Chain A
Amino acid sequence: MTHFDAWIDGSIVGLYLLATVIAGLMVRRHVGKVEHFLVAGREMDVHLGIASLAATEFGIITCMYTAQGGYTKGFVGALPGILQAVAMLVVGLTGFCIGPLRRSGVVTIPELFEKRFGPRIRWLSGLVIVVGGLLNMGIFLRVGGQFLVAVVGFDASWLELVMSALLVLVLVYTVLGGMLSVLVTDFLQFVVMSAGLLVVTFLILDDVGWARLVETVEKRQGPGGFNPLAEGGPGWSFVLFQSCVQIAATLTWQPVIARLFAAKDEHVGRRIYTRTSVFFAARFVIPGLWGIAAAAMLSDADLAALPAGTDGSLLAMPTYLARVVPIGMVGLLVAAMLAADMSTDSSYMLTWGGVIYNDLVAPFRKGPWSEKRGLFWNRTIVVLIGIFLLFFGLWYPLEGDVWTYCTLTGSIYLSSMSILLVACCYWKRANSWGAAAAIVLGAGMPIVTLVLDKVDVEHAFFLTRLSPNWNGFLAYALAAGGMIVGSLLKPSKAVSA
C-alpha cells in the first residue's frame, strides 16, 4: 500500500521535473567549446561544487544499497561512508595527489598518465575506467526503477517505461548543456534531494525511535551490527576492502575528480573536498537508518508479499517508506529521489563519456578537431552511453548485495588507477612496465570474481570460495605489487629512454 496521490504528489513531482529540464536547457547557450562541455570552463566555485558533488554522489542506487547495508549489517553498514569521509577530509586538507592532479591542467586522469607513462598506458587506463565505470553504472536505472515502483505503487510492468522516460529527460539536458547543465541542475537537485531526505528521516525517527533501531540491530546482528570486528560482523576483509575502495574512490573516482577539474583552481578544489567530507558519511548513515527502520517495522509476512524473485533486503526500505510517508510528503520523497537519480545519471554519463572522447578516441584522431566536431562527438558518446545503460539495465540479472557489486565493478579501475596516481605523483622509479602490470592485475581480479560468480555455482575454484571482500582487497594488493615489481624489473636504461 502506498500513500502516493496522483494529483497532490504527482503535481510536486511534475513541477520538479519541469523546473529541472528548464534550468538544464537554459544554460546550453554557454556551451561553445569542448572545455565548457566537459569541465564547465573551469569556473566552478566552492558552494556550487559542494552541491554538485553531493548531488552526484547520491542517487537512488546509493539510497538503496546503503539502506540494504543498514538492513543486513546494522550500523556497521555505514562504515564505508565514514571511511570515505575521513579520506575526503585528509586528502582535501593535505592536497595528497589531487594537488598535482589539478595543477597539471588535464581533463581526465589518463591524460596525466600519458605525461609519465606514455600513450599506451593512457589508452589502457581509459579502457579500464570506462569498463569499470559503465558496468558499475549499468544497474542504476533498474534499481532506481524498483524503488519508484515500490514507493509510488505503480505496476511493475511499467518499470522499463519509467526507466526509459527518466533517461530521456536526463539525456536531453546533459547532451545539450554538458557539465554546465549538470552543475546547474545538480544545484537544484541538491536542494530538493536534501529537503526530502531530511523530512523523511525525521518522519522515520518519529515513527520508530532510536531505542527501537538499536534493539533491532541488537536482535538481528548482535554485537557485529555495531562493531565490524565483533561476532556476527563482516570482519577484517570488509574493513580492509572498504578502506582501499574509499581511499581509491577519493583519489580517482571519475565523477568526484571531475569536480576537481571543473573547480576554479586547486584551492577551491581542495575546499570542496574538505567541506563535502561529512556528506560522504551522511549518505551512508541516513539511508542506513531507513534500512534498519524497515527491518524493525516490517514483518516476515510483509517481505513474503513482495513480488517473486525480488530481493527482500533491497526492497524492504522502499516498501516501508510507502507505508510511513503520508500524502504530500510522498511527492517530496519521489521528487527528492528523482533529483538524486537524475544528478547521478547525468554526471556519470558525462564523465565516462569524457574519458571515452579524451583518452580512447583521441589517439585515433587525424589532426586536431574543431570545437564543433568535438562537441558533436561528445554528445554522440553520451547518447550511446544512455542506450547502453538502458539495455544493460534490462538484461543484467542483479543478485545479492548491490554494494558488493558496485565496489567490485568500481575496483576494476579504482585499484590500479589509485596506485598509478600515487606512483605518478610521488615515486620517481615508477614506469610504464609497473603501470601496465598494475592495470592488468588490478582489473583482472574483480573481473574474474564477477565472471566466476556467474559460472562457478559449485564453488570449485579457489577464488569463488573466498568472499568478494577478500577478492576485492586482493585486487588492490596485486595492483600495488604489480607497480612495484614491474617498475623495478624494467632496465634503468629503458627508464631513462
Chain B
Amino acid sequence: MNPHGHAFWWLVAAFCIVWYSTVTIYVAIRGARDIRVMLERLAKSERPD
C-alpha cells in the first residue's frame, strides 16, 4: 500500500487498523479474566459473613 501523496491519512488509517487488530486480541484475552474476577468479587460481597 502506497500513500499516494497523502501520507497523513495513510498513516492514520494504517495506525487505526493495526492498533485495532492488536487491541482486539489483547482485550479479548484480558477482558474475560476481568469478568471472572468481577463476578467473583460480587458473589463474595453477596455472601453473609
**Residues of chain A contacted by B9 (CB below 8 angstroms):** 75, 214, 226
A75-B6, A214-B4 given; A278·B16 CB < 8 A: yes
Indicate whether A363 reaches chain B with its CB closer than 8 angstroms. Answer: no
Residues of B within 8 A of A (CB-CB), count:
36
Binary per-residue interface labels of chain B (6-46) against chain A in the complex, 1 for a CB within 8 Å, 0 otherwise: 10111011011101110110111011111101110111011
Q: Are A195 and B24 in contact (CB under 8 A)?
A: yes
Contact string against B for A residues 196-211, beta-carbon threshold 8 Å, 1 for contact and 0 otherwise: 0110010001000011
Q: How many A-B residue pairs have CB under 8 A?
A: 103
Q: Which of A40, A41, A50, A214 contacts B6 (CB 8 A)?
A: A214
Give complex CA distance A214, B1 in Å. 12
Closest CB in chain B relative to A95 CB, distance in Å: 22
Contact B6 A226 (CB under 8 A): yes
Inter-chain contacts of B15 with A (CB < 8 A): 278
Chain B residue nearest to A49 (CB atoms) is B34
Main secondary structure on chain A at its contact with chain B? helix
- Using Cβ atoms and an 8 Å threshold, which residues of chain A touch B2? 210-211
> Does B48 reach chain A (CB closer than 8 Å)?
no
Across the interface, do A281 and B5 meet the contact criterion of CB distance under 8 Å? no
Stretch from A105-113, A184-192, A460-468 forming part of the interface with B: A184-192
User: Does A211 lie within 8 Å of B4, measured CB to CB?
Assistant: yes
- Cβ of B28 to closest chain A Cβ, rounded Å: 5
Residues of A within 8 A of B1 (CB): 205, 210
Contacts of A279 in B (CB 8 A): 20, 23
Q: Are B24 and A201 in contact (CB under 8 A)?
A: no
Measured between C-beta atoms, what is the minimum distance from B48 to chain A in Å?
12
CA distance A10 to B5 in the complex (A): 42
Interface of chain B: mostly helix, strand, loop or mixed: helix
Shortest beta-carbon distance, B7 to chain A, in Å? Answer: 11
A197 and B20 contact, Cβ closer than 8 Å, known pairs A27-B39, A40-B38, A43-B38: yes
Partner of A198, one of B4, B20, B33: B20
A289 on interface, CB distance cutoff 8 Å: yes
Name the interface residues of A47-94: CB closer than 8 Å to any CB of B: 47-51, 54, 75, 78, 82
Cross-chain contact B31 with A285 (CB below 8 angstroms): no
Which of B6, B8, B31 has the most A CB atoms < 10 Å from its CB? B31
* Residues in chain B near residue A197, CB distance under 8 A: 20
Asked whether, in the complex, the Cβ of A285 is within 8 Å of the Cβ of B32, the reply is no
Given contacts A30-B39, A32-B46, A187-B32, contact A285 B13 (CB under 8 A): yes
Give the residues in chain B near A43, CB-CB below 8 Å.
38, 41-42
Inside 8 A of B23's CB, which chain A residues have their CB?
50, 275, 278-279
Q: How distant is the Cα of A469 from the Cα of B26 in the complex, in angstroms?
A: 38
Chain A interface residues toward B at CB < 8 A: 27, 30, 32, 36, 40-41, 43-51, 54, 75, 78, 82, 180, 183-184, 187, 190-191, 194-195, 197-198, 201, 205, 210-211, 214-215, 226, 275, 278-279, 281-282, 285-286, 289
Given A30-B39, A180-B42, 5 additional A-B pairs, CB 8 A: A50-B27, A184-B35, A278-B23, A282-B17, A285-B13
Interface residues of B (CB under 8 A from A): 1-6, 8-10, 12-13, 15-17, 19-21, 23-24, 26-28, 30-35, 37-39, 41-43, 45-46
Q: Report 14 cross-chain contacts, Cβ distance below 8 Å, ordered by A residue.
A: A27-B39, A30-B43, A36-B42, A43-B38, A43-B41, A45-B38, A47-B33, A50-B23, A183-B35, A187-B35, A190-B24, A197-B20, A210-B10, A286-B17
